[in-house]
Structure 1
Amino acid sequence: MSNVVYHVPVMLQECIEALAIKPDGVYVDVTFGGGGHSREILKHLGPKGRLIAFDQDPDALNNTIEDERFELVHQNFRFLKNSLRLLGVREVDGILADLGVSSHQFDDADRGFSIRFDADLDMRMDQVSDLDARRVLNTYSEEELHRIFGMYGEVQNAKSLAKTIVTARLTKEIRTVEELKEVIRKHVPRGKEHKYHAQVFQALRIEVNKELEVLQDFLMQTVPLLKDGGRLVVMSYHSLEDRLVKNFMLKGKFKGDVEKDFYGNEIKPFKVISRKAITAAAQELEENTRSRSAKLRVAERI
């Protein structure tokens, strides 16, 4: 499988610069995918450097890199700290996360991620999980569906959409992409079909893969793992993800004010390197539509 087809890495140079790679450092790419970022990191590492990558998607294993400095862990990055411990790694110099779904997952019709193909409603990144999109649509209450479409998809008419789905499934289970599109057709604004469907699918995908919980678990583990001066580099594609990353880098927590010590000094684990999120340059925006919603944030462990 050619890596170019699998996934075009977004903001590749910006990510590499943000990591400030030391040739003999230990780095982690928690979202290996097609391996685009990992291959670039390896180019900047010397013979003593080390790169450990994570991916829970079995398809990503086809892209592994033959290099003695490289190791691919078939695991969700919410298990980052324990997985690294098993490899004898307690501290690292940099951690990179690209939270986008890889182009390959969208382009593989059978996975049910894409609105372009008819397929079973699946959307699991990890094929062994019990929860898939079909189960969400057919078993969640109207309130729960309203919440995920509103919060995760930022769908305008989330309440009436949820009601329509709950009514439709009384007659017949919603099993495929096309069946779902048919059920919700009257809610889709004319001329904005693609955007609306994308928002609905995004909401389902985030719920199925528990993406926001996984992200919070992962971010909390980066603090004890990063050496002083180590870099945390995170690229997100959704406002909820970006908000979690931004707050965590600023305060070391997701809500509320920064903790203070006995003397009133702020206790922050990071110094924020990117005050504003870094976005793709004009040429990349033109060449790769997926880069349009990408926001890159960088912080240094203090």
Structure 2
Amino acid sequence: MTLTSTDGAAGSFSHRSVLLDSAVDLLLTDSGGRYVDATFGRGGHSRMILERLAENGVLLGIDKDPQAIDESRTLAAADSRFNVFHGSFADLGQALEQAQWPQVEGVLMDLGVSSPQLDDASRGFSFMRQGPLDMRMNPRQAPSAAEWLASADEKVIADVIFKYGEERFSRRIARLIVERRAEAPISTTLELAELVAKAVPKKEKHKHPATRTFQAIRIFINRELEDLELGLRAAAEKLAPGGRLVVISFHSLEDRLVKRFMRDLARGPQMPKGIPVTAAEESSAYRLIGKASKAASDEVSDNVRARSAVMRVLERRADIAQEKI
């Protein structure tokens, strides 16, 4: 995720990636290695990685957003060490096969919606700006949020809002959505935000009542958690000995998934009591690097979105034989 501000020109954004320096510090263990920025965004992490790579180091940028890919191709044209793959990080294995990289020294994932996506009203991610109710990270893929809400079953809508938004009033919200769409399609962000605000009887302090609903629909439409599971597994499998997976999460569902995945790999195989095993059989080929870290107070003061960022790091150990996940 990135910090952004508009400069007055339509569609123009400047940004600084959250946890930029610390993420790159932890990622780079070999300046001449092969690295993947699995969530290119607007290239904040990629540019710093390239600054620190040696001439023989290489970087692959991955993103599902066509606007991000346009930006990444500009960078690729300027630096021969950088290449681009248009797709989800769930397709990491395919991306590395295409690049002919059997292993990599590091993978970085900066999860969630990017600030350029959130701040561009035409993308439909924000409940604070009027725009088409889209929410697709790749607008070339169907359906949009509006299209899904126009036809989905009331129970399915409620389940999605509860599961991915942890919204306790999900059934009330879904019921009102279905009632409203019978009169006219819900086609804009502010229409949905106002509808949700009416459906939520108790408001949380300092939080818009539509926050959880917008988060849930966005996660569902873009298959974010399903892709994350696939991406984490592919990244861990492709790490070279000593290589690292660095993941920055922005909400509890993502972080919970990342935490469990890394913890289980670092813990190694769990054998039932009483079964004789050697120390080597109990050892894991992975280890956690430090504890979960968060943005410093000065970064949060500059970018309120950084307050929820959590970074976790997994390393493939160089002293233990490799294993299949």
For 2:254, the aligned partner's letter is E
CA distance in 1, matches of 2:188, 2:21: 39
Match of 2:254 among 236, 241, 260: 241
Unaligned runs of 5+ in 1: none
| Superposition map of 1:79-158 within 5 A | 79-158=91-170
| 2:315 counterpart SS class | strand
User: How far apart are residue 267 of structure 1 and its match?
Assistant: 5.7
CA distance in 1, matches of 2:131, 2:282: 51
| 1:252 counterpart SS class | helix
For 1:112, the aligned partner's letter is G
Structure 1 length as normaliser, TM-score?
0.91
User: How far apart are residue 258 of structure 1 and its match?
Assistant: 4.5
CA distance in 2, matches of 1:121, 1:268: 45
CA distance in 2, matches of 1:49, 1:182: 50
User: How far apart are residue 176 of structure 1 and its match?
Assistant: 1.3
Match of 1:214 among 214, 217, 227: 227
The answer for the alignment partner of 1:293 in structure 2 is 308
CA distance in 2, matches of 1:290, 1:10: 9
| 2:134 counterpart SS class | coil
The answer for the alignment partner of 2:39 in structure 1 is 31
- Gap change, CA 1:271 and 1:193, over 3 Å in 2: closer
Contact 2:162/2:170 (CA < 8 Å) preserved in 1? yes
| Structure 2 residue 287 is matched with structure 1 residue 271 | yes
CA distance in 2, matches of 1:122, 1:164: 19
| 1:37 counterpart SS class | helix
Q: Considering only aligned residues, what root-mean-square deviation do their CA atoms show, in Å?
A: 2.4
User: How far apart are residue 156 of structure 1 and its match?
Assistant: 2.9
- Gap change, CA 1:172 and 1:266, over 3 Å in 2: farther
| Structure 2 residue 184 is matched with structure 1 residue 168 | no
CA distance in 1, matches of 2:276, 2:47: 45
Identity %: 39
| 2:16 counterpart SS class | coil
| 1:7 counterpart SS class | strand
Match of 1:18 among 26, 31, 45: 26
Unaligned runs of 5+ in 2: 1-5, 318-325
For 2:170, the aligned partner's letter is A
CA distance in 2, matches of 1:6, 1:99: 19
User: How far apart are residue 23 of structure 1 and its match?
Assistant: 1.3
- Gap change, CA 1:266 and 1:134, over 3 Å in 2: farther
Deviates more, 1:46-55 or 1:113-122: 113-122
| 1:286 counterpart SS class | helix
| 2:162 counterpart SS class | helix
Contact 2:130/2:188 (CA < 8 Å) preserved in 1? yes
The answer for the alignment partner of 1:56 in structure 2 is 64
Count of residues paired in the alignment: 299
User: How far apart are residue 215 of structure 1 and its match?
Assistant: 0.2
Q: Deviations over 1:112-156 (max 9, x none)?
A: 111122222111111221121112222222222222211211223
Structure 2 length as normaliser, TM-score?
0.85
Contact 1:237/1:293 (CA < 8 Å) preserved in 2? yes
User: How far apart are residue 301 of structure 1 and its match?
Assistant: 0.9
- Gap change, CA 1:271 and 1:140, over 3 Å in 2: same
Runs of 4+ in 1 over 3 A off after TM superposition: 1-4, 188-194, 256-262, 264-269
| 2:108 counterpart SS class | strand
